[in-house]
């Protein structure tokens, strides 16, 4: 029996203040979200020999979970401190890097990429007691080739991309494009790209059973003349499939744990793996180019970022983000630094900066125009500071 390696990736994100708002207004939903996240490490207990999960947690979620007042508020629902501790179990969980405010990086000014990525590293290094994170999760899988130098600068080994945007520059068949890591290059830098299988990820999100999953993986990889890496990526706390507390009816009890039991007994060709372990053993092959785009949402296929830019109001808000960011960086330039140790002006510019970064949160644009006021509130506060400076 050949081996088909499977990399499971789950994204966890909550915008700043969202869990607090839900606890006050829709407590049952907040409880479902918190318990869905708390369930992840617990469902892997006893499967340290075979369980392998990659988690990407936004900076705003990490900030919320680590705040003492929030931990006190949720005591009796979930012990957030214990959750953060359990996520450090590197036998079953590998933490992926991302950006702090879950911004769709290709849609925001490139001048802000450094702060978004750097701030996430700051909080993650503190909470997870490590300095390096090898994999990068682009929020909403929003990727463009221009991000490669940034990712290399921050020490990332690989980045996850959606299968529909990968174009081979080295001749290779369909199954090799999708089930083998490749190299992508831009501006003198190169990084490994790991390709998400869009259709299998859709099934992971919607709900399926081990039999279907194994058959589908087999059919998709049966012509691979190399050890295939099947990568599935979805949110990990959204939707009834992940929030359902009944083990036999949720992702963990109905699909993943039975799959682990089969893998443990050698009764399936599927072998869960960390992406780093696969790369160490099998490497990356061929060169690709990744078209600018995102993953598929419930309404759009990710091309053109229509989910986030479909209306004039969304595009106007993004334009205002760019204009505000440009003024901020011009002000930083006049100080000759990023504002550190520059007295009151530097302090005020730093205050304006985090508001701009928070305004760039992808959720502000994802829900059509419903959350755009949140973006404009932060931009308005930033402009008040900038005008004063």
Least confident of 215-219, 252-256, 297-301: 297-301
CATH code for the structural domain at 4-290: 3.20.110.20
What digits encode the pLDDT tens for the residues 101-111?
999 999 999 99
Alpha-carbon separation of residue 354 from 59, 82, 345, 351 (angstroms) = 12, 28, 15, 6
Residue 17 makes CB contacts below 8 A (sequence gap 6+) with none
In 34-178, where do the E strands start and end?
53-57, 93-96, 135-136, 158-162, 166-168
Q: How far is CA 72 from the centre of its chain?
A: 27
pLDDT at residue 341, rounded to an integer: 53
pLDDT at residue 320, rounded to an integer: 98
Asked whether 201 and 54 are in contact (CB, 8 A), the reply is: no
- The two tokens of residue 105 are 């990086």
From 248, 216, 252, select the one nearest 236 (Cα to Cα): 252
What percentage of the chain has pLDDT greater than the value 90? Answer: 92
- The two tokens of residue 60 are 């705003």
Asked whether 136 and 156 are in contact (CB, 8 A), the reply is: yes
Alpha-carbon separation of residue 158 from 122, 203, 307 (angstroms) = 19, 24, 26
> Can you name the residues that pair with 16 across neighbouring β-strands?
none
Q: Is residue 367 predicted with pLDDT exceeding 50?
A: yes
pLDDT at residue 337, rounded to an integer: 53
If one counts every other C-beta atom within 10 angstroms of the C-beta of residue 90, the result is 11
pLDDT at residue 282, rounded to an integer: 98
pLDDT at residue 339, rounded to an integer: 44
What digits encode the pLDDT tens for the residues 307-360?
999 999 999 999 999 999 999 999 998 887 544 556 888 899 999 999 999 999
Please name the helix (run of DSSP H) or strand (run of DSSP E) that holds residue 185, with its range, or none.
Answer: strand 182-186
Calculate the average pLDDT of the chain: 95
Across 252-271, b (16+ Cβ under 10 Å) vs e yields bbbbbbbbbebbeeeebbbe
What digits encode the pLDDT tens for the residues 12-54?
999 999 999 999 999 999 999 999 999 999 999 999 999 999 9
> Can you name the residues that pair with 167 across neighbouring β-strands?
289
- pLDDT band for position 306 (50/70/90)? very high
- For the chain, domain boundaries: 4-290, 310-388
Q: Is residue 293 predicted with pLDDT exceeding 60?
A: yes
Asked whether 195 and 231 are in contact (CB, 8 A), the reply is: yes
């Amino acid at each position: 029996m050949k081996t088909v390696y499977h990399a499971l990736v789950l994204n966890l994100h909550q915008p700043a203040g969202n869990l607090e708002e839900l606890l006050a207004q829709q407590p049952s939903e907040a409880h479902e979200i918190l318990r869905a996240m708390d369930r992840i490490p617990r469902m892997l207990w006893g499967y340290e020999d075979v369980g392998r999960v990659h988690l990407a947690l936004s900076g705003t979620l990490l900030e919320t979970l680590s705040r003492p007042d929030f931990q006190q508020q949720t005591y009796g629902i979930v012990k957030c401190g214990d959750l953060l501790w359990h996520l450090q179990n590197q036998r079953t969980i590998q933490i992926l890097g991302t950006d702090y405010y879950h911004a769709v990086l290709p849609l925001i000014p490139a001048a802000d990429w450094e702060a978004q990525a750097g701030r996430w590293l700051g909080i993650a290094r503190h909470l997870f007691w490590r300095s390096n994170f090898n994999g990068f999760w682009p929020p909403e899988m929003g990727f463009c080739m221009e991000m490669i130098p940034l990712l290399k600068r921050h020490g990332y080994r690989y980045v996850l991309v959606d299968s529909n945007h990968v174009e081979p520059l080295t001749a290779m068949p369909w199954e090799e494009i999708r089930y083998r890591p490749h190299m992508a290059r831009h501006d003198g830098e190169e990084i490994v790209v790991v390709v998400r299988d869009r259709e299998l990820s859709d099934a992971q999100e919607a709900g399926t059973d081990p039999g279907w999953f194994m058959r589908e993986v087999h059919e998709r990889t049966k012509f691979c003349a190399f050890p295939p890496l099947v990568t599935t990526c979805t949110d990990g706390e959204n939707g009834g499939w992940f929030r359902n507390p009944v083990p036999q009816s949720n992702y963990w009890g109905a699909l993943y744990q039975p799959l682990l039991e089969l893998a443990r007994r050698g009764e399936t060709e599927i072998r869960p793996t960390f992406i780093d372990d696969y790369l160490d053993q099998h490497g990356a092959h061929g060169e690709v180019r990744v078209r600018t785009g995102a993953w598929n949402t419930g309404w759009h296929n990710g091309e053109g970022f229509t989910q986030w830019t479909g209306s004039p109001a969304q595009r106007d808000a993004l334009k205002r983000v760019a204009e505000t960011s440009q003024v901020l960086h011009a002000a930083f330039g006049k100080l000759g630094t990023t504002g550190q140790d520059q007295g009151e002006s530097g302090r005020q510019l730093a205050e304006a900066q985090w508001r701009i970064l928070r305004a760039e949160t992808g959720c502000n644009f994802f829900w059509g125009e419903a959350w755009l006021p949140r973006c404009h509130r932060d931009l308005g506060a930033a402009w008040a500071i900038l005008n004063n400076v």
